[in-house]
Amino acid sequence: MKRIFFAALASLLFVVGCQRVPLTGRNQLMLVGSKELLPMSFQSYRQLLDTSQVVGTGPNVESVRRVGQKIQRAVEDYLRDNNQLSLVEGFQWEYNVINSPQINAFCMPGGKVAFYTGILPICQNDEGIAVVMGHEIAHAIANHGAERMSQGLLSQGVLTAGQIGLGVAMSNKPQQTQQIYNNLFGLAAPAAATIGYILPNSRNQESEADHLGLIFMAKAGYDPRESVAFWQRMAQASSGQRPPEFLSTHPAETTRIRNLNRLIPKAMEYYPGQGGRR
């Protein structure tokens, strides 16, 4: 009986809550629209800036904003060429550098980007920043934030079969919904659900962001082959500090580099330095 119930539940969720990632065709669970997340995203980003040491000027800020704006234009051109410009409707692009030793960067839903100064020595130059920038912006373009929010709402029972929408979740369990959003990547989910469902999907999202990020950086005029050198530097910087891959939301660096080498030839078609299309 349980098997029949879960099969029916899965079928219903597939019908009412699944869509394809517009640029890759992968099926993703989408119980929350990206537009619903934008007000929360913008508020959280502003709170982060208000409580962080934001670097206002200097070469690092200039580099991050220069690269970000070039990749933004490349993304919009790419989406326009593929009749998918609606994917960035409502975006309010912004690029900031935060003074912190964290080796991290992100792009929140709606185009809100932050680079921590800790990652910049690994980036080394504009090409390294472009590797990270293209990857993080790809997460936003592919609606990964909304997908992860959907996974969290479902895994914790905030939304049930047939219920769709952030408004429903906030009405039912506002505190729990807010907590899921604050974690965003499902870290508050039960351990079994996290290991068996959320983390593997997160690794899929990471690989998808690598794929799209290479195209975006190439189209912006940055050599996608530089991605391998960046991740080699990242592997060296994080040596001995990473958990086993099956417990990580990110692919191991060796796995990522192998996948990048497979994807680079396609991305090179968009690189102007090799006669690629703009």
pTM for the full predicted model = 0.83
pLDDT in tens, 128-143: 999 999 999 999 999 8
Q: What is the pLDDT of residue 267?
A: 96
Which one-letter DSSP state was computed for residue 242?
P
Nearest Cα neighbor of 61 from 23, 29, 94, 101 is: 94
CA 173/CA 166 separation, integer angstroms: 10
What domains can you pick out in the chain, each with its CATH number?
23-274 (3.40.390)
pLDDT in tens, 42-51: 988 998 999 9
Q: Say which amino acid occupies 247.
A: L
CA 11/CA 14 separation, integer angstroms: 5
Give the sign of the dihedral formed by CA 108, CA 111, CA 114, CA 120.
Answer: positive
Both ends of the chain: CA-CA distance in Å? 55
